[in-house]
A and B are shown apart, each in its own frame.
Chain A
Amino acid sequence: MSTADIFAILQGAVTTASLSGVAILLGLPLGLLLALTRWANIPIVAPLVTVYVSILRATPLVTLLLLLFFALPNIGVPIGAISAAVLALTMNTSAFNCEVWRAGLMSFPKDQYEAAQSVGMQAGQRLRRIVLPQVARACLPGLVNEMSLLIKVTPVLAVVGVVDITRAAVRIGAETYEPLPPFFVALAIYLPIVYAIVCLQRLTERRLARAEAE
């Protein structure tokens, strides 16, 4: 393995990190929005969200990706590999995030909510000041879990030509007929990426705890 090979895997790391990063940033609030829609049981929209979540949770990411990549141009929507990858990851993670958020919302104590109502808080205020801070903290481990899973399913993006960490390693193995060294390098890169997210979780938890103590 040459330095150019390691550089190629690092380039794959940039792809993995940025694609999963974008999907996480889009998928987190989208999941919350979906969960709130279901929690509030908004007519017509809530059942649609249920369907969306059920379908996406039942669809393997690689199938969804191939469907988006090959079927969308068929109905006149041109889509590139990167956009298809981001779209598939975001759709997938938003469905799982929705369920994590919803679990948090459902276990939220009703009496607190009613207490907030009785002191005359508006719906938006209740959500922002009472519900979300507590629900976010309860949901954090589940959400971070889903994030780390998302990072580790990115190798399927290779199907449409996205070169992530694993694909970069596969290419090197195919060129040198020595697949093990590049895979070790790949593994050594996944570890710090996932570790960074876990650290971020700890940091957020600590900040939330401090905010509550004040």
Chain B
Amino acid sequence: MTERPMIAKWPSCLTFVLLTTLLAVAAAAPRAWAASLQEIKQRGYLVVATEDDFRPFEFVKDGKPTGFDNELVEELRKYAPFEIKQEILPWTGLLAGVSTGKYDIAITAAIITKERKQSLDFTSPIADATHYYVKRKSDNSIKAIKDLSGKTVGVQAGSALLGRLPELETMLKGGGGKLGKVVEYTSYPEAYQDLALGRTDYVVNTIINLKTLVAEKPNVFEIGQPVSGKSFPAWAVKKGNGELLAYMNEFIAKQKASGKFAELQKKWFGQEFSDLPITFEPEF
């Protein structure tokens, strides 16, 4: 029972074999079972994933999930003949969880983009998500879009907003300016904090998120002008899960018809979006 020098070549070649096998298994495994509507009805539950720090859509207040989407989840519980199992998690793993079939649907404000449409299908839009910029109220150097030239911008990593910054870049270039340094954050609360601290000059997010922010902190932040064209958030299911998508679209249509949708929009966003399209084909 004494320590002998290990044959060095053994482990490294084994490591390689094992790693390759592992990756192969992970990659070649049957693309997971995102349950179809029939399977959901049979097993008796739908797995819904929501975020936990995305006010006003979904956030946690006093330990309880609340916000626009969470109130709709409550409506869905009354509406659906099956049980709703809710998982609350950060944005990071959310869409990956839906596209791998871990969750059946992401009930969050996921902006519809071309890239996401490759692995996900989106329901009818739930709000308007035109991008605006927000700045420090005390910062007088920014009055119009052209003033954003060369300034540091904060956005969420992996967000649709990051993907549409080229639109702003085009706007700025039209006036002879340029897009400044882009700082990416894992979520918006940190981006706002850095803006307040002066580490960035403006943050780009959707009109709804920024309105809520400014309503909460009117002395710190101020909303600017739109920096993108049309954009809409919606709920996402795994690509090809058409039955579930149709079921959820029907649910949304019924909520719109009953006036519940408008009521919740007014409550959480401060305004109604009555002219939302039923389907939306993103350009970006």
List residues of A whose CB falls within 8 A of some B CB: 2, 4-5, 7-8, 11, 38-41, 46-48, 50-51, 54-55, 66-67, 69-71, 73-75, 81, 105-106, 110, 113, 123, 158-161, 163, 167, 170-177, 179-180
Q: B275 near A: Cβ within 8 Å?
A: no
**Which residues from A are CB-within-8-Å of B188?**
174
Known interface pairs A51-B11, A174-B189; A160-B63 also in contact (CB < 8 Å): no
B interface with A by C-beta (< 8 Å):
1-4, 6, 10-11, 14-15, 18-19, 25-26, 29-32, 52-55, 59-63, 87-90, 92-93, 96-97, 100-102, 187-190, 192-193, 213, 216-217
Q: Are B90 and A4 in contact, with the CB atoms below 8 A?
A: no
The secondary-structure label for the interface of chain A is helix
Given A40-B1, A74-B26, are A4 and B63 neighbors across the interface (CB < 8 Å)? Answer: yes
For A75, the chain B residues whose CB sits under 8 A away are 25, 29
Partner of B52, one of A55, A81, A171: A171
Chain B residues contacting A70 (CB-CB under 8 Å) are: 93, 96-97, 100, 102
User: Interface majority SS on B: helix, strand, loop or mixed?
Assistant: mixed
Chain B residues with CB below 8 A from A11, complex form = 63
Residues of B within 8 A of A39 (CB): 1, 3
**Known contacts A50-B11, A161-B88, A177-B189, A74 near B53 by CB under 8 Å:** no
Check A47 against B14 for contact (C-beta < 8 Å).
yes
Q: Determine if B63 and A170 form an interchain contact, defined as CB atoms under 8 angstroms apart.
A: no
B192 cross-chain contacts in A, Cβ below 8 A: 177
Query: Within the assembled complex, what's the spacing in Å between the Cα atoms of A33 and B74?
Result: 49
Q: Is the CB of A171 within 8 A of B3?
A: no
Nearest CB in chain B: distance from A89 CB, A: 17
Q: Is the CB of B60 within 8 A of A171?
A: yes
CB nearest to B61 among chain A residues: A175
Knowing that A38-B6, A74-B30 touch, tell me 9 more A-B residue pairs with CB under 8 angstroms. Answer: A39-B3, A48-B14, A105-B3, A161-B87, A163-B52, A171-B53, A174-B59, A175-B53, A177-B192
Q: How far is the CA of A3 from the CA of B96 in the complex (A)?
A: 35
A113 and B193 CA atoms in complex are apart in Å by 60
Min CB distance A131 to B, Å, is: 9
Q: Contacts of B97 on A, CB cut-off 8 Å?
A: 70
Q: Which residue of A lies closest to B12 (CB)?
A: A54
Taking the closest CB of chain A, its distance from the CB of B135, in whole angstroms, is: 16
Minimum C-beta distance from B271 to chain A (A): 20
B14 with A5: CB separation less than 8 A:
no
Complex contact A179–B189 (CB within 8 A): yes
Name A170's contact: one of B2, B18, B53 (CB within 8 Å).
Answer: B53
**Quick one: which of A123, A158, A176 contacts B1, CB cutoff 8 A?**
A123
Neighbour of A69 across the interface among B18, B101, B102, B217, CB < 8 A: B102
Chain B residue with Cβ nearest A7 = B63
Q: Within 8 Å CB of B54, what residues of A?
A: 174
Write out the residue numbers on chain A whose beta carbons fall within 8 Å of the beta carbon of B100.
70, 73-74
A204 to B227, CA, bound (A): 62
With a cutoff of 8 Å between Cβ atoms, the chain B residues found around residue A67 in the complex are 26
